[in-house]
Amino acid sequence: MVTPLRDRDQLDVAGLERLVERAIDGGVSGLFILGTTGEGPSLSYRLRRELVERVCRQVKSRVPVLVGITDTAFVESVNVARHAADAGADAVVAAPPYYLPEAQPELREYLDHLVPELPLPLYLYNMPALTKVSFELETVRHAMDNPRIVGLKDSSGNLDYFKRAAGLLKQRPDWTLLIGPEEMLFESILAGGLGGVSGGANLFPKLYVRLCEAARAGDVARARELQAQVLCISGSLYRIGRHSSSIIKGIKCALACLGICNDFMAEPFHRFRAEERALVESRLKEIETALSKLSL
Amino acid sequence: MVTPLRDRDQLDVAGLERLVERAIDGGVSGLFILGTTGEGPSLSYRLRRELVERVCRQVKSRVPVLVGITDTAFVESVNVARHAADAGADAVVAAPPYYLPEAQPELREYLDHLVPELPLPLYLYNMPALTKVSFELETVRHAMDNPRIVGLKDSSGNLDYFKRAAGLLKQRPDWTLLIGPEEMLFESILAGGLGGVSGGANLFPKLYVRLCEAARAGDVARARELQAQVLCISGSLYRIGRHSSSIIKGIKCALACLGICNDFMAEPFHRFRAEERALVESRLKEIETALSKLSL
Amino acid sequence: MVTPLRDRDQLDVAGLERLVERAIDGGVSGLFILGTTGEGPSLSYRLRRELVERVCRQVKSRVPVLVGITDTAFVESVNVARHAADAGADAVVAAPPYYLPEAQPELREYLDHLVPELPLPLYLYNMPALTKVSFELETVRHAMDNPRIVGLKDSSGNLDYFKRAAGLLKQRPDWTLLIGPEEMLFESILAGGLGGVSGGANLFPKLYVRLCEAARAGDVARARELQAQVLCISGSLYRIGRHSSSIIKGIKCALACLGICNDFMAEPFHRFRAEERALVESRLKEIETALSKLSL
Amino acid sequence: MVTPLRDRDQLDVAGLERLVERAIDGGVSGLFILGTTGEGPSLSYRLRRELVERVCRQVKSRVPVLVGITDTAFVESVNVARHAADAGADAVVAAPPYYLPEAQPELREYLDHLVPELPLPLYLYNMPALTKVSFELETVRHAMDNPRIVGLKDSSGNLDYFKRAAGLLKQRPDWTLLIGPEEMLFESILAGGLGGVSGGANLFPKLYVRLCEAARAGDVARARELQAQVLCISGSLYRIGRHSSSIIKGIKCALACLGICNDFMAEPFHRFRAEERALVESRLKEIETALSKLSL
């Protein structure tokens, strides 16, 4: 979930409410806040706490709320996790500490030390492009020995890795394996994943929900059709800017065009300008036309 | 400066005092706390504040205190800077936000927005290996237009870059250009730099001070002799571990061997084990013998 | 196809014959020689010519023969291509020149200049991990304007890229889109690819042929079963060495264990030692047992 | 030395003669042909042989001729080396094979196998940005055990590495340690290097010769002055294009402006267009004015 902002360090409260309702109405199985798309690391701790509280209060346990606690500082990760538990969240999500890269044995020990401090179950978040360090498969296997670690979100974009992670589920059939990049959501479910943490579900939750359902049900034709539409959304909305932040900018801009929430970005990033917004607007029209034909 | 720790989220207060006095006695021109070697990003904000207060109180303006405010969250950088000003620090130091990489125009705008919020002058900190993003020369040139930005610490290890940055000093002769990697401290001063922010100065401040003096005075023979000793320290103490954290571990372990402070590391890292510590101990003896012959 | 060697610059002629027959008997749709797995860039031009001649003579047009001409030197690529045409090969395959990286406009112009010199149709070979440079989608689109360029083998491992390349096939429905990494062969066909250039097909061609057939026929259950077996082969045979050459070493070692050909490697690589070979041998047994249950 | 070309696979013979004489008149200590700046890997073997013959014939042992034999194919490296010996060259130079990356033990074994096949002494060429693989210090130390390996050209741009390599010269005082990047030529000699393999010496050999002389003589003031001029040449001529090939393009274009040789580039690169050439031309004028004041 993106974090709707009105200004620096100010939530767009009304936009947040609309966004949450749209997702729940769309049928999502859960909400993941304070992740990469949620600009988690760019937000003040005060705002992170406010966001966690507001989302939990609004969701009222209709779906599970997962809270990102990825941090370079161990103690701050624990602080956010404790606050999340108090607010009523259901789980926390952590990528490896991402300033000075740690080795795998250090990462395993980090998990061993972190988990006992957490009042909520933990999902691992594999995001090597941004954290430099990957949860290597041996580390995932190690994590599976810990019953408080309950799943993995893989944003590596490496389907081979994902499949091998799926192969480890024999050891922990209760684990939840989720994929980040929505461009391979269908394939991830075919490979044994449960679903996706898809940025585009901020915009069109029903599309992603239907895609997961079709894939899980083995309806290959329908899943391919829906996946093709997801690929088209990604191609038309996420690559307008040239920089790595263009995915989030594209999603927030489209949400603003749809009247859902503000497209203010946390520093050091900035919303699209008029020219790029016009492009988003016209592409959104095409997407909505295409979506209307899919009878979601 | 390293951050002496007794335990997770606990300063080694006595060790910190010894470390600060050793540096000032050694003749350093200033102290930089909460940098990479100071494990800044791994520490809780509470501990960062405590460290800033204790160091400022102890230094009592004998030398300037520079405080690292590098953060992925703009607001937290400002918070640390404000606290540093209140505590009596002299300047703050910021590397680029380091989770989602920003483009140079975004980095320039980030500086434009950050500086007005800071109650202290700002040094840039170029550390691309850890932040992914570099302060490119055009961005440094832009920063020089802002009188509140007063210098650059370059830890790129790229002497070509450093020399070109030195070439820009014509525009701002008051700027302070410092080098990170102590392995090229001599060359950096030859190239127009003022001095170094050297991890090894935690251990042997006088050596680094004398090296800077010799280099600035144009005493090439003496500077080369001292630089060779610095290279030897780096080669024998910083590469004992195989991982990127081995520099900090080596320095902290050597400080513990010297009876200066505890070698506890912030998560996700851990102090050297007995085997590695024995190696540090024996190499320290060789270094001390060599240092005694240099009549610092 | 691997290149069976008896010694430095000496083909294992008998092994080569067995290997070719095994592949054709296994039902492969074509042979790609002098690729990465074929150690093409490590072989002398003399040996490359001998290999091309022997393979073409033996295949006798039973299946198409594709010849790798990837080279840092334009003229040598053309030389190999001309020789391949004379020997009766059907097409050539080129990755970007891989010493000094070129920009995409340079790569497009390179193709524009190369194709008129080639007596055979050209397949592009996307292999950014080794060539540093990718055939970006805009360049693929450009290549599709040239009727002499007839396909793309993508070894990027990036399924998002592959899907977008598949999306371009509208422009050239006659193009052949093939995937390198066999770990995602099934998904590549689901996404619109035609098949794979799979190193493991040296060992068990029938498995890969059946997998492609099942995937093309939409028999998802069977394709998943066969793909899982391919993943298992990859996991157990290609990762025994720690280095990037371990895939080729694993395949060649397994071929030697199966009595098909010698496992001599071109410099700077070397065959597995006894210890690793024992591992390959025992894993091969497990694989053969598993394969026998799949009734290929 | 650049390789003057008239057209694809055609030497600019007259230009080559002028270039060689200019370098020898300028006082260079040797010529290195078929390196990166010489576009070695982009040239056909026929042209490489022709170049070696012509250069050796013209130089007539006035200075040593070093010939690049870097290749992905072991046998082709040996072939070029044999031809170089027949033509009268003095040594060969090899970077690691650069397609599939090899590990250090493989690289050491590669050297062990290569050297006995070479009729000439060997220089190592460390160029990790292009070959992916570095001659790590342990491998350099190993190479020093072989009397037929006589030196190292380091183009890593990492002064720390260079200094540590210089530290190894105790073991082989007869070794020749040279630096690639001319931006740190002065510092490399201060650190124990003998000199540079400087692309800019194609243009202004005397400048680089004088810089080496001043640095070796310990004339720091003069060396800094000359090094500053070298930095200025690099900054104004090598960065006109945006791509990695812009150094070679800049040098060849400047040579053409000076009437020395043709600026034709081997594929996949192309000479600067009129606009960029105009820039080179105007900057050359400034450089020549500055050079005239240096009384070389």
pLDDT value of residue B243: 75
Residue D162 has pLDDT above 90, yes or no: yes
Cα–Cα distance between C37 and C251 in angstroms, integer? Answer: 9
Strands ordered across the beta sheet of C149-154: C31-33, C65-68, C91-94, C122-126, C149-154, C176-179, C195-196
Residue C242 has pLDDT above 80, yes or no: no
Neighbours of A91 (CB within 10 A): 22
Residue A243 has pLDDT above 90, yes or no: no
Cα–Cα distance between B224 and B220 in angstroms, integer? Answer: 6
Cα–Cα distance between C95 and A120 in angstroms, integer? Answer: 49
pLDDT tens digits, residue range D114-123?
Answer: 999 999 999 9
For residue B137, list chain D residues with Cβ-Cβ distance below 8 A: none
In this prediction, residues D232-258 reach a mean pLDDT of: 93
Contact B100 A42 (CB under 8 A): yes
* Residue A68 parent element (H or E): strand A65-68
**pLDDT-derived band of residue A210, with 50, 70 and 90 as boundaries?**
very high
Residue C153 a catalytic site member: yes
Cα–Cα distance between D107 and D149 in angstroms, integer? Answer: 14
**Which chains does B contact via 3+ CB–CB distances below 8 A?**
A, D
In this prediction, residues C14-31 reach a mean pLDDT of: 98
For residue D245, list chain C residues with Cβ-Cβ distance below 8 A: 100, 102, 106
Which residue does chain D place closest to C8, by CA atoms?
D75
pLDDT tens digits, residue range C245-292?
Answer: 999 999 999 999 999 999 999 999 999 999 999 999 999 999 999 999
> Which residues are paired to C11 by β-bridges?
C5
Q: Which of C201, C258, C254 is nearest to C25 (CA)?
A: C201
Q: Which pair of tokens denotes residue D9?
A: 């696979």
Instruction: Write D208-212 long-range contacts (CB < 8 A, 24+).
Output: D208/D26, D208/D28, D208/D182, D209/D26, D209/D27, D209/D28, D209/D29, D210/D294, D210/D296, D211/D185, D211/D186, D212/D185
pLDDT tens digits, residue range D10-52?
Answer: 999 999 999 999 999 999 999 999 999 999 999 999 999 999 9
Cα–Cα distance between B255 and B120 in angstroms, integer? Answer: 31
For residue A44, list chain B residues with Cβ-Cβ distance below 8 A: 73-76, 79
Strands ordered across the beta sheet of B176-179: B31-33, B65-68, B91-94, B122-126, B149-154, B176-179, B195-196
Residue D90 has pLDDT above 80, yes or no: yes
> How many residues appear in chain A?
296
**Global pTM value:** 0.96
Which of A167, A187, A235 shows the shortest C-beta gap to C159?
A187
Contact B45 A109 (CB under 8 A): no
Mention every residue, 6+ apart, whose C-beta is less than 8 A from residue A78: A69, A114, A117, A118
Residue to substitute from A100, A109, A252, interface B, most B β-carbons within 10 A = A100
Residue C176 has pLDDT above 90, yes or no: yes
Q: Which pair of tokens denotes residue D113?
A: 């196998």
pLDDT value of residue C241: 78
Which of B167, B187, B220 shows the shortest C-beta gap to D159?
B187
Minimal C-alpha gap between B293 and chain A (Å): 36
Averaged in consecutive runs of 10 residues, what is the pLDDT profile of chain B (296 residues)? 98 98 98 98 98 98 98 98 98 97 96 98 97 97 98 97 98 97 97 97 98 97 97 95 88 98 97 96 97 94
Residue D6 has pLDDT above 80, yes or no: yes
For residue C104, list chain D residues with Cβ-Cβ distance below 8 A: none
pLDDT tens digits, residue range C77-106?
Answer: 999 999 999 999 999 999 999 999 999 999
pLDDT > 90 fraction of chain D, expressed in percent and rounded = 98
Residue A242 has pLDDT above 80, yes or no: no
**pLDDT-derived band of residue A138, with 50, 70 and 90 as boundaries?**
very high
Residue to substitute from C184, C219, C222, interface A, most A β-carbons within 10 A = C184
Minimal C-alpha gap between B295 and chain D (Å): 22
- Rounded to two decimals, the ipTM of the complex is 0.96
**pLDDT-derived band of residue D151, with 50, 70 and 90 as boundaries?**
very high
Cα–Cα distance between A286 and A277 in angstroms, integer? Answer: 14
Contact assessment for residue A169 and residue A175, using Cβ atoms and an 8 Å cutoff: yes
Residue D242 has pLDDT above 90, yes or no: no
pLDDT value of residue A99: 96
3 state DSSP class of D143:
helix
DSSP string computed for B91-127: EEEEPPP-SSPPPHHHHHHHHHHHGGG-SS-EEEEE-
Residue C243 has pLDDT above 80, yes or no: no
At residue A218's C-alpha, the angle toward residues A212 and A219, to 5°, is: 80
Contact D43 C103 (CB under 8 A): no
Minimal C-alpha gap between D175 and chain B (Å): 20
Which of C160, C218, C231 shows the shortest C-beta gap to A184?
C160
Cα–Cα distance between D56 and D50 in angstroms, integer? Answer: 10
pLDDT value of residue C229: 98
Q: Which of C98, C123, C153, C161 is catalytic?
A: C153
Cα–Cα distance between B86 and C153 in angstroms, integer? Answer: 62
